[in-house]
Structure 1
Amino acid sequence: MTSTAHGSARAGGDVPTDRLVAGRRPVAAESGTTRQPSDGSRFRPEIEGLRAVASLLVVVYHVWIGRVSGGVDVFFALTGFLAAGQLVRAAERGGIDLFRQWGRTLRRLVPPAAVVLIGTIVASLLLLPESRWPQTVREVVTSAFFVENWQLAADSVDYYAAHNTASVVQHFWSLSIQGQFAIVFPVVVIVATLAARRAGIAGRPAVVALLVSATAISLVWSVVSTATDQTYAYFDSLTRVWEFTLGGLLALGIHRLRLPSWAGLVLGWGGLAGLAACGMMLDVEAGFPGYLALWPVLCAAAVIVAGDTTHHLGSARFLSSRPMQYLGSISFPLYLWHWPVLTLALVTFHTEEPGLRLGLAIIGTSLLLAAATRHFVEDPLLRRARRRSGPLRDHRVAVLALVPVLVLALAWHAVTTARAAPSGVAGDANHPGAMALQPGFVDRGSPDAEPIPPAVSANEDWVKYEEPENGCHDLPEHAALQLCTYVPAPDPAAPTVVVVGDSHMAQFLPAVGPIAQERGWRVQTLIRPGCPLSTTSESNIGEVDCITWNQQTLDALSRLSPALVVAQATHNVRAGRTEATPPGMVEAWNRLADAGVPVLGVRDNPRFDHAPPSCVDTYGRSAPECDVPRSDLYPRVSSLPAGTPSTVSFLDLSDSICLSTTCPPEIGRVMVYLDDNHLTGTFTASLAPVVGNRIAALIGR
């Protein structure tokens, strides 16, 4: 999540694992004796308690600290530990029934997840702003099929999707990875044991060798991937494999460890202390997984190795206590419920920080829902599974649980699509947009007309400039560039306007298109999100790539010699009046001036610390909470800096974007912004008369 704000802190998860062999709580022996850790072939209550600790850390960190705790990494390691021991023992006893194994996994995971998704859909329809519906519907479906992590990974590298707000089901990313592991790992164990059998060797050493290789490869990939693209790496299943396989290696080798009681005492409490401190001491959100994830995984391993220590002060006595056992038994539904409860509570109470009282209410509600899910969903299904068995029964339970989720999601999508239809177009009588701020304007529209684009589709009002019909093609001599034709011209000799820069300039295209169509000009684009035209990089998005792209763009523009280049003239309009024209922009204009290419520099639009459409959706139209003082964003007078060549003209649209005192989210019944910093394509279309006149004056045709 891609955002690092509190509301978008990435959530962790837990997959329930059947207790392999029921057993009594271990009886403490005298201090000082040795003990041999169990590999999980009997019930280990301290592991249930460790699950409780990890889930509580996830919840507390999300609610009050606004950071990631590392608890999800504990769940990954525990899943690998329990799965490896179970599957290898099954293979040694004669084989793994893969179909039944998958069925048991689906029966454990799908019904409680489906209950949470159904509850989340219903609550979201009542409480979630409509502007967040499309994203949430999409992620509900990907969560139901255990591919939410890949949805978030794809969004993290999609510049336009990366601006999405954290969804109420974002936390399903970790459950998706664990579900994928639970499906793939039995196949891996079967293949390894069959290969070992054909080679005439024991199956366990073959599995160990495979896990060692997978651990090394995945850990190296995790370190490399985190260093190059941390946001994508965070959700990538392959960067997390080593956490499962390291837990699996521990399960297959722990029986060889013999520790004195005092060592178990140190390891157990040391591991718990390390887990509690992980999220505070490490930059978990920005540095994980990589090598930093070794901290929580090794802490969990220490607690597992400490096991049911015989020392009377050992951590196992705490972890095996009745409260911790109960919390461990509801850790899976607690993880599933806490994130939607938290995010919907923050939306309902219009706050970014829950505080003590609201935080306690969120945790209490999550615990009650988790307990209800366990007693009324998980336990009944487990009892029925014990009474009735069959090769298809568990699969049928999972499918039947998914049906209402998908039906509700489909219905929600239909409602969303119906509400997304606009009630007009920019420039009509009811939706004058920016023209409502022009001198002498007379409003002849209905004051009760619904704004466009509708709230449910405002954050998807991106300008499509890379469509196939726009004739996009790579420039062979400039590998980083793609030139697209936004408005074609029948006359090859027609003037060409090239719109250049980042996504803000892409959103500006509807203001340029109408004058070009009217006068037969050609409009082409050289757009790269995050890279305004400059000789340097003006953002933290792809810094090296931006520099290369800008260099090649300047070379291409010099060769194309268009009638006019339209580019951004200022940058970073934020509260505190941080707006500036970077030296790199001026240098780029001088290079174009040397090539005889004129430039129209467009003053940038404001950037906010919130999404105006969501604010309107939450507080209502004309709500003062959604208006930002203009004086906080724009200085009274703005001009281009010294050194700007005479071939550059300045287009200041601040009077068309803001009122005299505020910069509102809606002007002339048109939504101005689609997220926290991009104009809607609908609003920029309403700027066409102003922009068209200026361009026509510059081109002279």
Structure 2
Amino acid sequence: MHQSSTTAVPPVPPPPPTSATARPRTRAAGRLPADAQRFRGDIQGLRAVAVIAVLGFHAGLPFMSGGFVGVDVFFVISGFLITGLIDREIGRTGRLSLTRFWARRVRRLLPATAVVLAAVAVITMVVLPVTRWASIAWDIATSALYVVNWRLADQSVNYLASDDAPSPVQHFWSLAVEEQFYLVWPLLILVLLWLQRRFHLSITRVLLGGIAAIGIPSLIWSIYLTETSPGPAYFVSTTRLWELAVGAALAIIAHRLPRLPVAWAHALGAGGLAAIVVAVVAYDSGTPFPGTAALLPTLGAAAVIAAGTVGRRTLADLVLDTSVMRDIGTLSYSLYLWHWPLLIAAAVMWGGDDGTLPVATGVVVVGFSVVPAWLTYRLVEAPIHHAKLLVRLPGWAAVLGVGCTAIGVAAAMLVSQAVPQPPSYAVTSQAQGAAVLDDEPDEDPDGEVVDSVEYITPTALEAPDDVARLDGELCISDIEGTDLESCTYGPADAEITVAIVGDSKMHQWLTAFQQIADERGWHLVTYLKSGCPLITGDVVFEDAPNEDCTAYNEARYDTLRTDDAIDYVITSQVASRAYLGPDASDAEQSDAMIDDMVGVWEGLEEAGRQVVVMIDNPNPSIDVMECVAEHPDELGECAFSRDDRERKGGGAAAQLPALERADGISSVDLRDYICPGEACPAVIGNVLVYRRGSHLTATYVSTLTPRLDEALMEVMR
């Protein structure tokens, strides 16, 4: 944006809340060149690059492991185009109308969103397991209100949500970030324009200053939060605003760029496109992101856009400004909306035991998403965006926006209301759980895996909340964070103090330990952290080291060694590999975990604590809870092979060899009472065994209390 005339502007009252004024820019004052307002085929092609990267990543293409950076390219494009619209409006009229600005955003984005959210509600109720419906209803509602990114940020560190399957509207997080930017950015420009008029400042410098005031702190915060809390850092708006600010700054200075030599434009375009491709190919799920890693695709996108402002074809245009890429770019918004819920539905219908789709299937599903995307664009997105009535009467866009949002919220309510209410079963003597098993079980209670029972407690719908607690408290730290938090239970002057230590697979036993502590007068103290076993090295977390766990363990291990009030340390875990770096093999990382466990156990024994290792329960090859919800009268479909799963991992894969190497470490093994026989049943004694992932229901753990008490008494010295 050019600086306005240097003629003094007389003091005027502040602008009304719906608009801001600045001196209209005449040709002499430096109006934007005509080609800055032309259709940018290269940007449409850049949209295509961004959406292809995202779709390829979600389809599972191995050479697009960093395709998630396509979202960052979209952020830069949005920042550039939106700020360019504002820039031209102020230059043309001397005013910024919030009504017209937000009306354009409503026409452009909300109708297609409403269609997809309504479709997701239908897909959810037709295809997805009923156990997910309540959570997805909240996801749809927060997506309709464009705050789902904050919900996902909270869930990324929430122990109770750690095993949740991906939501069919999870991809709406990026749209939420953009909408929040669209809400705040024009309001900030109103303030900046008032400052410019009030103090007779350069409009360009004022706007760039405002962008810097947002962008620089956001970048610093993004780098910091990515290192300290990578889960929330990925989703929250505050770590992403700087990417939109880069595009915004580029729009403000765009009038200077045509003066660049054409050779520079060629280099910028080609180099920027190469930077994006490198990020798409080289990054993966283990790359800390956004943080500094986001600079590569973000600056690459900015370079491509900058190159195109010269008004001449550049090397990048040979790829971007083609009919195919422009067509894909035109459909990019609808493609982005549709592809993910279709992939989630396909994963339920055709995915493997772990819920993942074969790459070929993923590619086919993504390819099919072109059909609803094209229909949505032609029948909804384009007609409403260009509707003459809505363009002429922008106030009606508010009605449209409310209506579209209402459709999304109504879809969420429909899913929520459709969730079946679990029957209120009274837990009778028939619901005995592990009590029905023989002392030396080799089969399930009836000698075979049963297909149906009269009732199940907890029901599959109740199971997600059937979580172990100690005196009503969860008593486990989230994945993120390093503070050493603990709970205590029982008389402080008890003769025996037991420390319950480990990750969520140790936490699941709290219900039983509380009952044992009540009977035996123990004092319990917990040191539990989700995703964090008791070792001194690094733990693998999403193909990267869990640095928060490492810091937490340093304090935890020191406390356990120095607190002489602790008599016993009882521990378990699901992790079986330590982190040795990106090039280390699974076997090397497994050996490192085993050696570390042995060292920690023996170190605690030397400090005067008796260590008791609880062998991890078998890890299901399926989501038992969801299977039971789908097959309540075919429970045999929900059984899984114990031997197969124990060969594939879980904490037992490391615990058993570690116990062989360790000197005199005691252990408790209740696997035969969780998985009697070769096949692990979903229901034992009318009690659902598993809730989420490989975690046991608190109800079933409670029925194991006598077995656990007996086993502990045999090994505690």
Matched with 2:37 is: 41
Secondary structure in structure 2 of the residue aligned to 1:530: coil
Q: Which residue of 2 aligns with 1:19?
A: none
Matches within 5 A, 1:476-555: 480-485=484-489, 488=490, 497-518=498-519, 523-533=524-534, 540-541=545-546, 542-555=549-562
Closer, same or farther: CA 496–446 of 1 in aligned 2, 3 Å: farther
Q: Structure 1 377/509 Cα, relative in aligned 2: closer, same or farther at 3 Å?
A: same
Which residue of 52, 59, 63 corresponds with 2:48? 52
CA deviation after TM superposition for structure 1 residue 277, in Å: 4.2
Superposition deviation, residue 223 in structure 1: 2.6
Q: Among 456, 459, 463, which residue is 2:461 paired with?
A: 456
Deviation at 1:157, TM superposition (A): 2.4
- The one-letter code sitting in structure 1 at the alignment partner of 2:298 is V
Question: 385, 399, 403: which is aligned to 1:400?
Answer: 403
1:78 Cα deviation after fit? 0.7
Taking a change above 3 Å as real, the CA distance of residues 629 and 265 of structure 1, as seen in their structure-2 partners, is same
Q: How far 1:606 sits from its partner (Å)? A: 3.4
C-alpha deviation, 1:386, in angstroms? 3.4
Deviation for aligned residue 1:400 = 1.4
Distance 2:407 2:163 in 1: 30
Q: Helix, strand or coil for the counterpart of 1:90? A: helix
Whether the 8 Å contact between 2:639 and 2:682 is mirrored in structure 1 is no
CA RMSD of aligned residues (A): 4.0
Q: 1:347 to 1:393 in 2, by over 3 A?
A: same
The offset of 1:465, in angstroms, is 3.2
Q: Would the aligned equivalents of 2:33 and 2:255 in 1 still touch at CA under 8 Å? A: yes
5+ long unaligned stretches in structure 2: 1-31, 579-585
Structure 2: how far apart are the matches of 1:580 and 1:132? 37
Match of 1:32 in 2: none
Could you tell me how far 1:95 is from its partner in structure 2?
A: 2.5
Note the 1:439-454 alignment, pairs <5 A: 439=440, 447-454=452-459
Change (3 A) 1:38 1:605: farther
Q: CA deviation at 1:319?
A: 4.1
Pair 538,320 (structure 1): closer, same or farther in 2 beyond 3 Å? closer
Shift, 1:434, TM fit: 6.5
Contact 2:433 2:700 in 1 (8 A): no
Deviations 1:591-646 (A, max 9, x none): 6656765554322223467644345557863237843425626689879446645x
Q: 2: distance between equivalents of 1:177 and 1:570?
A: 35
- Aligned pairs for 1:135-174 (under 5 A) are 135-174=135-174
Q: Paired residue for 2:110?
A: 110
Q: Distance in 1 between matches of 2:536 and 2:357?
A: 44
Letter in 2 for 1:73: D
- The alpha-carbon distance between structure 1 residues 119 and 433, as it changes in their structure 2 partners (threshold 3 A), is farther
Partner of 2:416: 413
The one-letter amino acid paired with 2:692 is D
**1:77 Cα shift?**
0.4
Within 2, Cα distance between the matches of 1:499 and 1:448? 35
Describe the shift of the 1:346–1:494 C-alpha distance in structure 2 as closer, same or farther (beyond 3 A).
same
Deviation of the 1:118 alpha carbon: 1.0
Q: Which residue of 687, 703, 706 maps to 1:670?
A: 687
Deviations 1:399-428 (A, max 9, x none): 112223222322322443614x57454x84
The one of 655, 679, 686 aligned to 2:696: 679
Instruction: Supply the AA of the counterpart residue of 2:453.
Output: D
Q: Is the 8 A contact 2:577 2:593 kept in 1?
A: no
Counterpart Cα distance in 2 of 1:225 and 1:369: 37
Contact kept, 8 Å, 2:351 with 2:358, in 1: the verdict is no
How far apart are 1:686 and its partner, in Å? 2.0
Alignment of 1:115-514 (within 5 A): 115-257=115-257, 258-261=259-262, 263-283=264-284, 286-307=287-308, 315-316=316-317, 319-351=320-352, 354=357, 358-384=361-387, 386=389, 389-390=392-393, 392-416=395-419, 418-419=421-422, 423=425, 425=427, 428-430=429-431, 432-433=433-434, 435-436=436-437, 438-439=439-440, 447-465=452-470, 467=472, 480-485=484-489, 488=490, 497-514=498-515
Equivalent AA in structure 2 for residue 217 of structure 1? P
The secondary structure found in structure 1 opposite 2:700 is: helix
Alignment partner, residue 604 of structure 1: 616
The answer as to whether partners of 2:140 and 2:169 remain within 8 angstroms in 1 is yes
Q: Deviations over 1:284-303 (max 9, x none)?
A: 66232222222222332233
Deviation track 1:100-146 (CA, whole Å, cap 9, x = no partner) reads 43343234322211211110111111111233333322222221221
Task: Quote the Cα distance in structure 2 between the aligned partners of 1:627 and 1:168.
Answer: 30
CA displacement at 1:690 relative to structure 2: 0.8
Q: Distance in 1 between matches of 2:577 and 2:253?
A: 58
TM-score computed with the length of structure 1 as normaliser: 0.81
Post-superposition offset of 1:152: 1.8
Distance in 2, matches of 1:354 and 1:495, equals: 50
Q: How far did residue 344 of structure 1 move?
A: 1.0
Match of 1:651 in 2: 668
My pick for the range that moved more, 576-585 or 663-672, is 576-585
CA-CA distance at 1:508 after TM superposition:
0.5
Three-state SS of the structure 2 residue aligned to 1:455 is: coil
1:195-214 superposed Cα distances (whole Å, 9 cap, x missing partner): 12211113222001222343
Identity across matched positions, percent: 31
**2:333 is aligned with what amino acid?**
F
Post-superposition shift, 1:505? Answer: 1.9
Q: Is the 2:502–2:534 Cα contact (8 Å) retained in structure 1? A: yes
Is the CA contact (8 Å cut-off) linking 1:214 and 1:242 kept in structure 2?
yes
Q: Which amino acid aligns with 1:238?
A: T
Pairing partner for 1:660 from 677, 682, 699: 677
Secondary structure at the counterpart of residue 154 of structure 2: helix
2:19 aligns with: none
> Which letter maps to 1:134?
A
TM-score (norm: length of structure 2): 0.79
Structure 1 residues 195 and 595: alpha-carbon distance in aligned structure 2, compared to 1, 3 A threshold: same
Call closer, same or farther: CA 1:167–1:406 in 2, change over 3 Å: same
Q: Provide, for residues 493-542 of structure 1, a one-character-per-residue CA deviation record: whole Å limited to 9, x for no partner.
A: 58655433322222112223334445665555333333444566666542
More moved, 680-689 vs 219-228: 219-228
Residues 49 and 325 of structure 1 are in contact (CA less than 8 Å); yes or no, is this contact kept in structure 2? yes
CA separation of 1:270 and 1:481: change in aligned 2, threshold 3 A: closer
Give the counterpart letter for 1:676 in structure 2. Answer: G
Show the counterpart of 1:623. Answer: 637
Aligned residues: 650
Q: Give 1:125's aligned amino acid.
A: M
For 2:421, what is the secondary structure of its paired residue? helix
What is the aligned partner in structure 2 of residue 18 from structure 1? none
Following TM superposition, by how much is the alpha carbon of 1:244 offset from its aligned partner in structure 2, in angstroms? 0.9
Alignment CA distance shift 1:659-1:171 (3 Å): same
Q: CA deviation at 1:464?
A: 2.8
Following superposition, the deviation at residue 368 of structure 1 comes to 1.5
Partner Cα separation in structure 2 for residue 276 and residue 155 of structure 1: 31
Q: Distance in 2 between matches of 1:233 and 1:83?
A: 24
Give, in angstroms, the shift of residue 398 of structure 1: 1.4
Counterpart CA distance in 2 for 1:288 and 1:571 is 23
2:253 partner letter? G
Letter of the 1:688 counterpart: T
Distance 1:471 1:294 in 2: 39
Q: Please tell me whether the aligned partners of residues 40 and 82 of structure 1 are also in contact (alpha carbons under 8 angstroms).
A: no
Report deviation, 1:149. 1.6
Post-superposition offset of 1:74: 1.2
SS at match of 2:437: helix
Classify the secondary structure of the residue corresponding to 1:85. helix
- The CA distance in 2 between the partners of 1:638 and 1:682, in whole Å, is 30
Decide which moves more: 168-177 or 145-154.
145-154
SS at match of 1:80: helix
Counterpart-to-counterpart distance in 1, 2:277 and 2:266? 17
Query: Paired residue for 1:94?
Result: 94
d(CA) in 2 for partners of 1:254, 1:442: 74
2:705 maps to 1:688: yes
The answer to which of 688-697 and 513-522 deviates more is: 513-522
CA spacing shift, 1:270–1:579, aligned 2, 3 Å? closer
